[in-house]
Structure 1
């Protein structure tokens, strides 16, 4: 029968060097002390399932903790941890890891090797980027908190975390988001407040389970995007010929064309202007659709159309005079029903 040991709020500089029967400890609470290290007997606490070390002075977690193979919850908020032991991936039963308020500059590779991890909190660290190896958590991760870091961009790979229900990217330096976030079909809560966003990817509005979207303190809340097509480049000959083939619905196959050309033609994407039947490959124009949520909040969503002329024809006026027409577009009834809370202030 496992037992709980509670040393919280004791102002301890260190834990006892020895304890009786450490292998019987199931829950160890040692938060809100002044610990600089952990005792060696911790590695013999093989029944340990919950370890609470928050609000101490730990600069690292001991390697001995990696022998606690039954550990499911590890909380070490508000310490000075800058890295993890190389053996950390041995914690194959770990479900929840909370390292908010530490000194991590990157996501340790060991975290991505935890096969059962469901909840990961790395807020208020010093993260500047999210590495691609985070996709290794796609089979288990449901909660990801990365608020309060120094992120300037988000990788496309984040959209592969298909089980995510809650994603927090608030209090960073994000100027845009990848369209791959539209693949997070299980997502219910998305926190984006306190960034530098001027628009959202069009794909986000179609997330089937999204019910809470936090956007306050972003430029898109107070200053909507007005310019369209400013970065558009002239399409290449491959682009133009590919558009002709796809728009005319000409038949092609690998018996009559090289495989790489068939792959290129298969990669065509439909123009998001409902009045345009065209396609594009790599040459497109960023534009904005203003979506009215719950009959109150107009939120600009980024989308892509095939050319500046496509935008002009859809609005019937120049870009500088089209804001009223764009703003009048509304989300469908299904979209309004889904997104119940849009937090702008």
Structure 2
């Protein structure tokens, strides 16, 4: 048969571990017929640990897969699957790849019985999930979880149950927030959240002390938690196409300062003494709200009008991360005092590009 790399199931073919029926554009009936033929031919089914069925036109999984008792990895990506029943009662998988199908939250079994304690990799990217599949939380042995390119609006707050997870990929969904419980994934090495609508990251992300790669580009981030600096293992940080980067050293469109603010700034800048009774109590309170400009070469203050500015802070000696600060005027950006500070370190500009471009 075409699926064999050897012509028979003799002792030499016992070494064959992979059954490749991929990229045939075959339907379920055709694939099922071939699998049954393998099962009936000298009991060859037990030889296979890997079955590749990707790139076909399968709408449902053949039940004959249950006969492959030593099956460990199954790839059914790029098919037409609308359901993923728990057909693996007799072949506990360690890897299941079912990306780019038509699976929804209702497509999954209520639980993954046989693979509950063995499944290490689950790839359901490129499907039609709207919510984080709660069944996944019972997969205690899971190490790699891929849910990218769906329409998922949340990360389950119980994601902490997957405490052995090393990779969590949820790029290209509709996430608006990241729950604090993500910080409990102490084994996590890669967190992929790009192409979402996330506005901020939780401070608990600092607990991910094994994290090496953090992809959060193309989101709505305006700031980063300062706790990010504690991630000693982080070597890849992708931030591009976020407001905090897009607006880097860019003037904000401001309304002219009010006369009240101009007067208050003058009082503070020239240190004009104000005694009790000279001005109303409300104005005394207003003067106390003055905030200093972060430009070390400027002694100015601001009250209601300010310019947002990104300050690159040294990050474990490897590169710099941007944190949001405020300036009293766009003139404080002119002259590039921040750029001069960065340029004084010959390695900073290269490291900065590494961070921003990811």
TM-score by length of 2: 0.66
Aligned residues: 271
Aligned to 2:226: 202
Conserved in 2, the CA contact under 8 Å of 1:198 and 1:224? no
Alignment of 1:65-76 (within 5 A): 65-69=88-92, 71-76=93-98
Aligned to 2:198: 174
Aligned to 1:64: 87
Conserved in 2, the CA contact under 8 Å of 1:29 and 1:51? yes
* 1:103 counterpart SS class: coil
Distance 2:331 2:91 in 1: 64
Alignment of 1:1-345 (within 5 A): 1=14, 3-14=17-28, 15-17=31-33, 18-19=36-37, 20=39, 21=43, 22-69=45-92, 71-83=93-105, 84-91=108-115, 92-138=117-163, 140-224=164-248, 289-291=311-313, 299-301=321-323, 341-344=354-357
Q: 1:199 to 1:327 in 2, by over 3 A?
A: farther
Q: CA deviation at 1:168?
A: 0.4
Task: Extract unaligned runs of 5+ from structure 1.
Answer: 228-272, 274-286, 304-310, 312-316
* CA displacement, residues 66-95 of structure 1 (integer Å, 9 cap, x when unaligned): 4422x1111111001113212315312111
Q: CA deviation at 1:288?
A: 7.1
* CA displacement, residues 136-175 of structure 1 (integer Å, 9 cap, x when unaligned): 011x111111100000111000111011111100000111
Task: Extract unaligned runs of 5+ from structure 2.
Answer: 1-13, 253-293, 295-308
* CA displacement, residues 247-273 of structure 1 (integer Å, 9 cap, x when unaligned): xxxxxxxxxxxxxxxxxxxxxxxxxx9
Q: Which shows bigger deviation, 83-92 or 107-116?
A: 83-92
Distance 1:177 1:87 in 2: 31
Distance 1:65 1:126 in 2: 27
* 2:32 counterpart SS class: coil
Q: CA deviation at 1:299?
A: 4.1
- CA-atom RMSD, angstroms? 3.4
Q: 1:222 to 1:294 in 2, by over 3 A?
A: farther
Distance 1:97 1:159 in 2: 21
Conserved in 2, the CA contact under 8 Å of 1:211 and 1:341? no
Distance 1:190 1:101 in 2: 21
TM-score by length of 1: 0.69
Q: CA deviation at 1:320?
A: 7.9
Distance 1:342 1:112 in 2: 32
Q: 1:327 to 1:131 in 2, by over 3 A?
A: farther
Q: CA deviation at 1:106?
A: 1.5
Aligned to 1:270: none
Q: 1:150 to 1:38 in 2, by over 3 A?
A: same
Aligned to 1:261: none
